Every structure is written in structure tokens, then in C-alpha cells.
Amino acid sequence: MARDVRDELSDCDELQLQRRLCRFFFERDIRAFGTKIGWSELDVRAEDGFSSLLIEAKKVVSEPSAAIINKWLTQLGS
């Protein structure tokens, strides 16, 4: 990620990142919305007429372990 963008987003929490991502899609005429469904919440779903994109945003401040990454993938798969 570009350093200027990274610095701008470093103080954001996951919900703020979700909102910014929705705004990014909206500004490009791509339908997008955030969802919250219990523990298996999905951060953003975007659709462009051809397909859907499911996004699980994670703010990483240190290198995650393989177990943590597998947990995140399981959450997205749910």
C-alpha cells in the first residue's frame, strides 16, 4: 500500500476501514454495503453486475501467524 495512504489509514479501526471501502466502491458506481451478522460478520459486499466481491477487512499491526490467517479464512468462508 502506498505510504501516504497507509499513514492516513493507520489510526482507523476496522469499522472506519469498512466505511471508507464502501465509499471507494460507491464513488466508482459499484454497489457496496457493509453487514453485521453475529460472529461471522462480513465487512463489505460489492456487486458490479457481473459478480459479487466479499471482503473481510483486517487491520494488521504485526505479522499474523498461520493459525490466525486460517481463522480469518474460516470466518470469511462462514
Tell me the per-residue pLDDT of 14-43, one tens digit each, with 9 for 90 and over.
778 878 888 888 898 888 877 664 455 556
pLDDT of residue 65: 94
pLDDT of residue 11: 82
Structural contact between residues 59 and 41, judged by C-beta atoms closer than 8 angstroms: no
Question: Which residue would you say has higher pLDDT here, 64 or 53?
Answer: 64
Structural contact between residues 55 and 43, judged by C-beta atoms closer than 8 angstroms: yes
Cell numbers 458506481 correspond to what residue? Answer: 29
pLDDT of residue 38: 47
Q: Domain-by-domain residue ranges, the chain? A: 3-77
Does this model's pTM top 0.75? My answer is no
